[in-house]
Amino acid sequence: MKTLVCTQPGTLEYKTAEKPVLKKGHAIIKIKRIGICGTDLHAFEGMQPFFEYPRILGHELAGELVEFDGADGFEMEEKVTFIPYFNCGTCIACRSGKPNCCVNIKVCGVHVDGGMVEYLSVPSYSLVHGEGLSYEELALIEPLAIGAHGVARAGIKKGEFVLIIGAGPIGLGTIEFAKIAGAEVIVMDVNEARLSFCQQHLKVKHTLNALKANVFEQLKEITGGDMPTVIIDATGNQKAIDNAFQYLAHGGRFVLIGLQKGEIAFSHPEFHKREATLMSSRNATRQDFEHVIACMKSGLVDPKTYITHRVGFDEVKRDFESWLKPETGVIKAMVSVD
């Protein structure tokens, strides 16, 4: 079968590999769609933590179930996606109902080879029913679940002002689920095209360009002087994360979905006087996946809104580097393996 391997930062190569053989407790999926995510782009740039080369990228996936063992309730040729965070089931996190941050986690496309292949073997416990959704919709469940999980971590209350920093694909999903939770959403980014997308397609009332505005004063005005009670970072940009502490309301919560390699720096007295809460949000749980599916099926979320570029598998190497450039206008690139 054909595969696409990131052999080193900045280099993708098509290679051939043996089709996977069914193992006990596993399933084989014939890949149909691959969503390109920030993790893939960061790995290509050499900026992804917890990463080794060479690696087959890809974990936003959907396909046809062609073989399986130990997957009760599933059927041959069923449309499926899967939860790409393979957990051990025995560590403290797994025993506490948090397999998304398993001590021994193996994230598909990061710690183990991912889905830029024709056929992929995954643990049967990770399978998710297609629920009548299309392959493109199924491939977008995972990135939307990342945002849904961050919103769940924040514990948003109806009417709260929530500042979401970063209007990339993960940020857009976070915006959607913050709105569903009842938040008054404020979006900040440095890309005017993405801010316009938020206004036009997600009906976000308040948008700020971090490079053009006195952000602190604008946030005070929008929130009636209170400042946002929740801030969610979806950039993974160190400067953006460090700057955001000053925007947090007293008693507020700061949730980090974005991930960067460096250290976080903030004023302890400023943080302490707010009695603020700092949380990370890693991956997502099956409950988040189910929440996303329910919102898709009810029409609360239209994932196809995000797809700006569609390519075939043979075109990924040619186009991949261009997706790093803001002028390309990519929000979500979708790869077809049909």
pLDDT band with cut points at 50, 70 and 90 for residue 213: confident
CA-based radius of gyration for the chain: 20
Q: What CATH number did the domain enclosing 162 receive? A: 3.40.50.720
pLDDT higher than 80, residue 335? yes
Same domain, yes or no: 171 and 271: yes
Residues paired with residue 129 on neighbouring β-strands, in sequence order: 80
Is residue 290 in a domain? no
- pLDDT for the residue 228: 98
Count of domains for the chain: 2
State whether 177 and 252 are in the same domain.
Answer: yes
**pLDDT above 70 as % of the chain:** 100
Do 56 and 112 reside in the same domain of the chain?
A: yes
pLDDT of residue 65: 98
- pLDDT-based confidence at 261, cuts 50/70/90? confident
Q: How confident is the model at residue 310 (pLDDT cuts 50, 70, 90)?
A: very high
Confidence of residue 121 (pLDDT cuts 50, 70, 90): very high
H-only helix segments in the chain = 38-45, 92-95, 135-139, 141-154, 169-180, 192-201, 215-222, 238-244, 268-273, 286-297, 316-319
- Is residue 63 domain-shared with residue 119, that is, in the same domain? yes
**Residue 184 counted as domain residue:** yes
Residues in CB range of 236: below 8 A, 6 or more apart: 38, 42, 166, 258, 259, 260
Between 9-18, 44-53, 253-262, the lowest mean confidence (pLDDT) is in 44-53
Same domain, yes or no: 15 and 57: yes
289 within domain boundaries: no
Identify whether the C-beta of residue 247 lies closer than 8 Å to the C-beta of residue 223. no
Confidence bin at 272 (pLDDT 50/70/90) = very high
How many Å apart are CA 91 and CA 110, to the nearest integer?
Answer: 20
The CA distances from residue 24 to 87, 108, 123, 304, in Å, are: 16, 19, 9, 35
Same domain as 207, residue 130: no
Q: Residue 8 is part of a domain; what is its CATH number? A: 3.90.180.10
Are 223 and 321 found together in one domain? no
Check whether residue 81 and residue 185 sit in a common domain. Answer: no
Distance CA 73, CA 282 (A): 28
Spatial separation of the C-alpha atoms in residues 296 and 303, rounded to whole Å:
7
pLDDT tens-digit series, residues 189-209: 999 999 999 999 999 999 999
Q: Do 180 and 276 have their domain in common?
A: yes
**Same domain flag for 6 and 123:** yes
* Terminal Cα-to-Cα distance of the chain (whole angstroms): 13
Residue 292 included in any domain: no
Residue pair 94/87 in contact (Cβ under 8 Å)? The answer is yes
> Average pLDDT of the chain?
95
**Is a pLDDT exceeding 90 seen at residue 116?**
yes
Give the three-class secondary structure for 327: helix
What is the reported pLDDT for 145?
A: 98
Distance CA 198, CA 186 (A): 10
Q: Does 22 fall in a domain? A: yes
Question: Mind listing the pLDDT tens digit for each residue in 44-76?
Answer: 998 777 788 999 999 999 999 999 999 999 999
Question: Do 131 and 8 share a structural domain?
Answer: yes
| Same domain? 163 vs 198 | yes
Q: What whole-number distance in Å separates Cα of residue 286 and Cα of residue 100?
A: 9
Structural domain of 312: 2-139+302-336
Measured at the CA of 303, the angle between CA 330 and CA 162, to 5 degrees, comes to 85
The CB-side HSE value for 215 (13 A sphere, CA atoms) comes to: 22
Does any domain span residue 157?
A: yes
Give domain status of residue 288, yes or no. no
Evaluate whether residue 8 is within a structural domain: yes
